[in-house]
Amino acid sequence: MKTASLQLVVLAAIVAIVFSEIGPADSKSRTYFSDGSLQAKIQYCTDCHGPSGQGYRGYFPMPRLAGQTTEYLENQLRAFVERRREPHMAMTMSRVHGVSPAMQTSLAGHFSGLNPPPFGRGPRQLEDTGKTIYEQGLPDDYVPACQVCHGPEAKGTGPIPRLAGQLYPYTVKELENWDKERGQGPDSDTSAVMRPIAHSLTKSQIEAVAAYLSDLE
């Protein structure tokens, strides 16, 4: 009887030790934040990207975040923090610095669920040409159809970004300056796939594709 009791005491002690070790480790692996902290970060984002994440068309065009895939948004936040992507405004870096992975996930989830109408459309007379390039590519220039990766509706999936409804001037700027803003550092993300494609597009072709995408919902 005494032996059984002793065994129970030892077992209880072992269980207590195990859980005492798991508890703190599990707590350290998570980052907790209040709803107020999340709302504050969302406000930081909307100061530049608009209240519905629709983007901003001005001297420095701010991209549409609304409806973007969560995985892509998280990847880009990490790229800014790790300096694999160069922001065109110093304020971008200051606002994403120190944002925890858990907060990144919450921010991505928030903006992916928004769906404002397109804002910042491009010249409509370019849309037909842009549609052809998007759907068929430029075989003679070894440019594949954009829809192969971004989907027929340009809504993206997983790490492949949504392009539908993206601001015209922003898309033009990104494609024209791909090497200067994307794929910085040794561990580039999927943006590296776009490098030869961006190089193969002329300015007029870039403008046509951007105009077509800017009008998609």
Highest mean pLDDT among 8-12, 102-106, 124-128, 181-185: 124-128
Query: What confidence tier does 182 reach under pLDDT thresholds 50, 70, 90?
Result: confident
Supply the mean pLDDT for the chain: 82
Instruction: Choose between 196 and 191: higher pLDDT.
Output: 196
Homologous superfamily of domain range 124-214? Cytochrome c-like domain (1.10.760.10)
Q: How far is CA 177 from the centre of its chain?
A: 18
Q: Was domain 35-112 assigned CATH 1.10.357.10? A: no
Q: How much is the average pLDDT of 121-144?
A: 96
Whether 124-214 and 35-112 are alike in CATH topology: the answer is yes
Closest CA to 116 of 72, 48, 166, 173: 166
Q: Could you tell me which residues come within 8 angstroms of residue 95 by beta carbon, excluding any fewer than 6 positions away?
A: 44, 45
pTM for the full model? 0.79
Tell me which of 37-41, 46-50, 79-83, 210-214 is least confident. 79-83
Q: Enter the tokens of residue 6.
A: 């002793």
Q: Could you tell me which residues come within 8 angstroms of residue 98 by beta carbon, excluding any fewer than 6 positions away?
A: none
Q: Could you tell me which residues come within 8 angstroms of residue 170 by beta carbon, excluding any fewer than 6 positions away?
A: 55, 61, 62, 63, 64, 120
pLDDT at 31 (0 to 100): 56
Query: What confidence tier does 87 reach under pLDDT thresholds 50, 70, 90?
Result: low
Query: H helices of the chain, where?
Result: 2-29, 35-49, 70-81, 90-96, 101-112, 127-136, 147-150, 168-176, 178-181, 195-200, 203-214
Q: Enter the tokens of residue 210.
A: 């951007």
What does DSSP assign to residue 183? S
Tell me which of 73-77, 88-92, 173-177 is least confident. 88-92
pLDDT at 29 (0 to 100): 34
Paired residues of 143 in beta bridges: 138
Per-residue model confidence as pLDDT tens digits over 150-179: 999 999 999 999 999 999 999 999 999 987
Domain boundaries, the chain: 1-30, 35-112, 124-214
